[in-house]
Chain A
């Protein structure tokens, strides 16, 4: 029982990261039907910019940054990466919004390569050790250890997702986003600035992914310029799992995938973890492309 619960907590943390990244995929997809391959790299960018800022405020001597400092770093990093998201959209995607699908997909791959290798040039190819480490203290629940750090990360992720939900449901921008997802041309006729809302969507997506990036840096302790690649695919899997374009779906999909992987790793061994995720992705795309929460699509032959 204790092992079972332990794996559950680990899976939950992983799943929270997946959810945060999956949200960006799903929102961008929902609004412009673009599969942003580069999305995982915002997570990486978040981890690195957070790393740079934290190293700066903690200094080389490892001064204690204090909770306030760390909080500030979090927010600043997320905003910077959010702006990077807007930049990417403006430079690379906007000129291609009406181009054939193949063009924009290839562009997305180009963006992904650019972000990854620009980071490699900037920060080096080797693993970087994060300047702050979380304490291992925690609670024991029916024999399983859950650290305060884990609880903190899960709560923080939950808060971010809750914030997003409120934003989308309660604000005028959120409403515009949902409207554009339904009918873009009608929205521009209604006087909604469609481009501004698309920018906003990229901002939020990158913002959340960056949050996950710093959290994972803090949690796992090391970061690397390729860290966004696989996790981007996993998050995409999560988005598909939950029904792409569906916000709640992305959250649930992330958690489900995190848990499945966590248990899968325990029972099958770590080397098959990625095969498990891709297997799930392929099965879903083939048999239920609309995901767990997706609507039924018209049957075509």
Chain B
């Protein structure tokens, strides 16, 4: 069963066709990857799926619901969460407060509750705190919980961003180059983390990644794009043998 379907997606920036007629599907409960050289249009695809860019044309469906013309916040509420290629934490806020943001779309108390500290408001606050702490524990950054996000070590910031995304209780999680800047041990930890996200929470994971080792280890499905077009897809073994893929990478002397 597919959870995310992208059909004939196209994105134009002035004269530049960043994404061209791209179609792919993501199966429920899988860990899939999008790979491709720098500037291939991977992040742009994520930005369209999550509602930050409006596609020039094409269709995106999450669990059968069209996402076109939805605001990013609505899409998150529908069950999609994301991280950013360049970390986008709330730099001055504590790690805990960062993660609490994810619960915003799963809670509903407004001004009235806040002003009068109603019973339901207090309960909700407790719930937010609880979920946030759970997510913090899950990614293993509890010891930094009270520290400003910007003062966390780099690796912890990456995990924190994942915790924040998990707090939105997504069906599918989009990770944009989650391993970028991590050292070997941190990458191993990340691999475990991504597995656990899928296995323990039944969350589908779609990620953009450059680290082939990491991809080979956890990815069940790979879509390769180059110049905005899909040039291959399949299991890691199939894809990495593909002529076009080798050419796309070697031809550009990009680091694999």
Contact = CB atoms under 8 A, between A and B. Distances in A.
Taking the complex as a whole, does A directly touch B, i.e. does some CB pair lie under 8 Å apart?
Answer: yes
Interface of A: 296, 298-301
Interface in B13-67: 13-14, 51-54
Given A298-B53, A301-B51, A301-B52, 10 more contacts: A296-B14, A298-B13, A299-B54, A300-B52, A300-B53, A300-B54, A301-B53, A301-B54, A301-B71, A301-B72
Nearest to B72: A301
Contacts of B13: 298
Contacts of B51: 301
Contacts of A301: 51-54, 71-72
A299 B54 CA distance: 7
A299 B13 CA distance: 9
A300 B51 CA distance: 9
B84 to A, nearest CB: 15
Interface residues of B, number: 8
Contacts, number: 13
Contacts of A296: 14
Contacts of B14: 296
A298 B54 CA distance: 9
Contacts of B52: 300-301
Nearest to B13: A298
A98 to B, nearest CB: 14
A301 B14 CA distance: 17
A298 B11 CA distance: 11
Contacts of A299: 54
Nearest to B70: A301
A115 to B, nearest CB: 32
Interface string B1-14: 00000000000011
Nearest to B11: A298
Contacts of A300: 52-54
A85 B71 CA distance: 43
A174 to B, nearest CB: 25
A298 B52 CA distance: 11
13 contacts: A296-B14, A298-B13, A298-B53, A299-B54, A300-B52, A300-B53, A300-B54, A301-B51, A301-B52, A301-B53, A301-B54, A301-B71, A301-B72
A32 to B, nearest CB: 22
Contacts of A298: 13, 53
Nearest to B12: A298
Contacts of B54: 299-301
Contacts of B71: 301
A290 to B, nearest CB: 13
A117 B128 CA distance: 50
A299 B14 CA distance: 11
A300 B52 CA distance: 6
Contacts of B72: 301
A182 to B, nearest CB: 15
A284 B25 CA distance: 42
